[in-house]
Amino acid sequence: MRLVIFGPTGGTGRRLVERAIAEGHEVTAFVRNPSRMSARHRRLEVVVGDVSDAGKVPEAVDGNEAVISVLGSRQPSNPLHPHRPGDPHGPVSAGSANIIAAMKEHGLRRFVCQTAWGVGESKQDPGFAGAFFMKVLVPPLLRDEYAEKEAQEKLVRESDLEWIIVRPMILTNGPWTNDYRVGLDLKPGRRPYISRADVADFLMRQLTDDTFVHKTPAIGY
């Protein structure tokens, strides 16, 4: 399959590129800073641009069959700033809007998008571990990132694409285990985390599996 990955230089993105190449796919990696792209392969094409550039994104999408987005926020939350709702013009949400528009322009359907556990309805009835995360850690440290992911998910949900929104729990740099839990109402257990390698594994499976089309599965141990 020919696929384009947005966010390929992040922790999950690097593992995703490696996994896609290992599985024999032809990969287009859309990067803002090519110096951060260490992977090299004859089936890997690097396109340099900013995802907020509505003119550049279609160049990367053209000629591909599916899109995976693992875009991350560039700016950390500032605990001194008052809470604000998700900014539809922030880099992740604005970039997602450009990706969706480019996919429609070039006739692509499958869009696999990573956000985070705790976005949308997943924060309702989160259990003890989840409540601690959402009430203690998110407000001072991840408030802005989560606000923008809310805006991102709204854009994806309102599109008419074959979208799948994947919500991983706390990300780690652990190994690929192929032993993780997935569910639409999954709550954090005693191990409220998931390795980026296992997330990459699950994201790749969504390219051809229709089980979670128009759904928001969470993933964790």
Residue 67's beta-bridge partner residues?
4, 111
Average pLDDT over residues 48-62: 96
- Amino acid, single-letter form, for residue 81: H
For residue 111, the domain's CATH number is 3.40.50.720
Q: What is the pTM of this model?
A: 0.87
Are the beta carbons of 108 and 67 closer than 8 angstroms? yes
Q: How many CB atoms lie within 10 A of CB 47?
A: 16
% helix / strand / coil in the chain, to the nearest 5?
A: 35, 20, 45
Residue 160 DSSP code: -
Are the beta carbons of 215 and 184 closer than 8 angstroms? yes
Confidence of residue 137 (pLDDT cuts 50, 70, 90): low
Q: State the total domains in the chain.
A: 1
pLDDT in tens, 36-46: 999 999 999 99
- Determine how β-strand 44-48 pairs with β-strand 181-183: unpaired
Task: Output the CA torsion 157→108→210→130 (10° steps).
Answer: -40
Q: State which residues form the domain around 105.
A: 2-220
Confidence of residue 77 (pLDDT cuts 50, 70, 90): very low
Confidence of residue 139 (pLDDT cuts 50, 70, 90): very low
What confidence score (pLDDT) does residue 68 get? 98
What confidence score (pLDDT) does residue 178 get? 94
pLDDT in tens, 140-188: 445 678 888 999 999 999 999 999 999 999 999 999 999 999 999 888 8
Confidence of residue 220 (pLDDT cuts 50, 70, 90): very high
What confidence score (pLDDT) does residue 193 get? 92
What confidence score (pLDDT) does residue 79 get? 46
Percent of the chain's residues with pLDDT above 90: 72
DSSP labels, 30-86: EES-GGG-----TTEEEEE--TT-TTTHHHHHTT-SEEEE----SS---TTSPP---
Residue 6's beta-bridge partner residues?
30, 69
